[in-house]
Chain A
Amino acid sequence: MIKFGFVCARNTFRAMDVFFWPVMDLLVWGFLSVYMLKVSNAVPALITMLIGATIMWNVLMRAQQLISVSFLDDLWSRNLLNIFAAPIRVSEYVTAAYLMGFIQAVLVILVLSVLANIFYSFNLFSIGLPLAFLFANLLLMGWSLGLVTTALILRWGPPAEALAWAIPFLVQPVCAVFYPVSVLPLWLQPVAYWVPAAHVFEGMRQILQTGHLDQSRLWCALGLNILYMVIAALVFRHLFQEARQRGYLAKYGT
């Protein structure tokens, strides 16, 4: 865990990465929504929804990215072999990555909500306590995605590396980040209901619009998240063992 601390502290470029994209995201979507408000008679609630969605989407994405990118970092710096030749349980390695993912997601939500407040006088924290549940569910999903991404990279190596950045955008359409599930084509809607983030974003829109939240949504998201965490852990364990058999831990490290 200390290792990740060092890596983060040392790697100023990475620090840029952590905030650069989320902030750009926020600015683009924020200004777009201001513009929409001007040219059409879009409801102001639309703006808050877009901005809120942008911030929360970045929570999910950062949690996923930190896990898979910090793994890539070990891979590219040829450190994997040293790490796994040391008395570190795989679960400890994953926990450290989860913890860093959590810290990063917290930083991102804080920085973005402060900026959103300054630029668009949007106060994310007006959501109140439910925000913590929304956040937690996005974090959980980000973790699972990150772990699966890592497992895929471990198993398929360099060709799969791009997945670290592609995975969030692969799932984004069914996460219903910026629009309700109901606008999705009929055949995609059932898929979206299997995605925890879709429930989170639906829930967030509900709160921003009506001020209250349908509890069942959160339980749904949580249940799905727990299911996916278990699946992600099993997939990872399986592919990790396979990587050990195929000698990938040693080979990609060299």
Chain B
Amino acid sequence: MVHSDLVVELRNVRKTFGPALAVDDLSFSVAEGEIVGLLGANGAGKTTSIHMLLGLITPSAGTINIFGKDLERHRIDILQQANFASAYQFLPWNLKVWENLFVFSEIYRVKNGKKKINELLDMFELSHMRDRITGALSAGEQTRLNLCKSLLNDPRLLLLDEPTASLDPDQADKVRKIIASLQRETGMTVINTSHNMIDVHELCGRILFMQKGRIIAEGGADEIMQRYGSESLEDVFIRIARTPIVEKLESELAKN
């Protein structure tokens, strides 16, 4: 069954690293234009899932379809229309800021690359750094540079791994607004992991809560808060994180 409006579709995806289980029977789908948040404690399998969506890690089992195509078979096609940024992944330190962006604009075959680079640098307030060596940028500046890189090709699918992790509250707020407005403009689909509940609340229309490689709760932020009878997402997060077996929590909730 192929849904043309499903941008991402994971079916029973599992990933083990030797004896370690990183992702366990993960199934979800994301429709065109959605902003979905992947939440979960450290080690829940968020980054692994993102990397599998990029084809950097091959699943041990299950299938991943993106844009209705099998990821393994159409990797290059798919990656051409996708992009990725992480707060922990830097561009080569020994190149200048604009050189790095130029290299990736060539790799993604961006038309009018120079113009696009300038627009993006402006957008993320990095224009004055364009001739700096990338390694000399602060963590937050590099994070924003990564975001520039991730938007070079006007991706149809944008994967973000803790995009605001090293940003100050002001910049984090700006980045959220940029992503939200770009999303409205272009209709791109965003999957976003974060430990910042403001990110999730403000940005994500739907949340997937992961624990030990599985999705254990799903829905809009308010819906989830209501379901767990919590005042805030932070609260829900802590409750889920501190419950060793989630089925127990669910059944407890069902009893009440």
Contact = CB atoms under 8 A, between A and B. Distances in A.
Interface of A: 2-3, 6-7, 10-11, 73-74, 77-79, 81-89, 241, 244-247, 249-250, 253-254
B149 interface: yes
B94 interface: yes
B108 A244 contact: no
Given A78-B89, A85-B56, A245-B57, 18 more contacts: A3-B106, A6-B95, A10-B96, A77-B90, A77-B92, A81-B56, A81-B86, A82-B84, A82-B91, A85-B54, A88-B107, A89-B76, A241-B58, A245-B60, A246-B17, A247-B57, A250-B47, A250-B57
B79 interface: yes
B49 to A, nearest CB: 11
A249 B57 contact: yes
Given A247-B48, A247-B57, A86 B104 contact: yes
B28 interface: no
A80 to B, nearest CB: 9
B79 to A, nearest CB: 4
Interface of B: 17, 47-48, 51, 54-58, 60, 76-77, 79-80, 83-84, 86, 88-96, 99, 102-104, 106-108, 149
A87 B83 CA distance: 9
B14 to A, nearest CB: 12
B107 to A, nearest CB: 5
A87 B79 contact: yes
Interface core residue of A86, A249, A254 (most chain B CB under 10 Å): A86
30 contacts: A3-B106, A7-B92, A7-B94, A11-B94, A73-B92, A79-B90, A79-B91, A79-B92, A81-B51, A81-B86, A82-B89, A82-B104, A82-B149, A84-B55, A85-B55, A85-B56, A85-B83, A85-B84, A86-B104, A86-B107, A87-B79, A87-B80, A89-B76, A244-B57, A246-B17, A247-B17, A249-B56, A250-B47, A254-B88, A254-B89
Contacts of A247: 17, 48, 51, 56-57
Contacts, number: 85
Interface core residue of B47, B89, B99 (most chain A CB under 10 Å): B89
Main secondary structure of the interface of A (DSSP, over half): helix
Contacts of A74: 92
A253 B92 CA distance: 11
Nearest to B16: A245
A11 B94 CA distance: 7
Given A81-B89, A253-B89, A87 B58 contact: no
Contacts of B104: 82, 86
A79 B125 CA distance: 23
A88 B79 CA distance: 9
B79 A7 contact: no
Contacts of A84: 54-56
B221 to A, nearest CB: 28
Given A82-B89, A85-B84, A86-B108, A250 B94 contact: no
Contacts of A3: 103, 106-107
Given A82-B89, A247-B57, A87 B108 contact: yes
Contact of B76 (A87, A241, A253, A254): A87
A159 to B, nearest CB: 18
Interface core residue of B48, B90, B94 (most chain A CB under 10 Å): B94
A185 B137 CA distance: 57
Nearest to B88: A254
A196 to B, nearest CB: 33
A86 B152 CA distance: 11
Nearest to B80: A87
B93 A244 contact: no
Nearest to A78: B90
Given A87-B79, A250-B51, A10 B99 contact: yes
